[in-house]
Amino acid sequence: MEDVRTKRGADIAPDHHLLVAKMKLKLKKYWTTWWTISQKFNTAFLRDTDKLNKSEIALSNKFQAFHDLLSREETTMESNWNEIKEATASNIRRFWATRNTITRNGSLLIHWMRFKKGETSR
């Protein structure tokens, strides 16, 4: 989060304030929760305005659906934050190409999974 401000709004009750937050996403590296090797996204994608607009529309649709879900159910802040992260990450995975860091038919992934399980290659 870069900046958080409170503002009075016309459609908000007198004892409530509108909260506006500015967020900055670090898109070059996104760490997945189940795999500790980071995924690197191709940020050159941002130069193509057509793909960028499609990505923004899809993300706004996901957030609209998320907003509708919030208005219906009682949720916690942690579940809300997880939904926001998952919506953003799935949108990036869908529209953006990832830069491959795994070489030789996934050999890095295979060795890493063996290491996590405690196996050795010998």
Q: Tens digits of per-residue pLDDT, 47-93?
A: 778 877 887 888 787 777 777 766 666 677 787 778 777 777 777 77
Full-model pTM: 0.36
Q: How confident is the model at residue 21 (pLDDT cuts 50, 70, 90)?
A: confident
CA dihedral over 111, 117, 118, 121, signed as positive or negative: negative
Question: Can you tell me the mean pLDDT for 12-39?
Answer: 60
Helix axes 49-72, 77-95, angle to 10 degrees: 160
Contact 12, 23 (CB under 8 A): no
pLDDT of residue 104: 45
Q: What percent of the chain stands above pLDDT 70?
A: 39
Calculate Rg over the CA atoms of the chain: 20
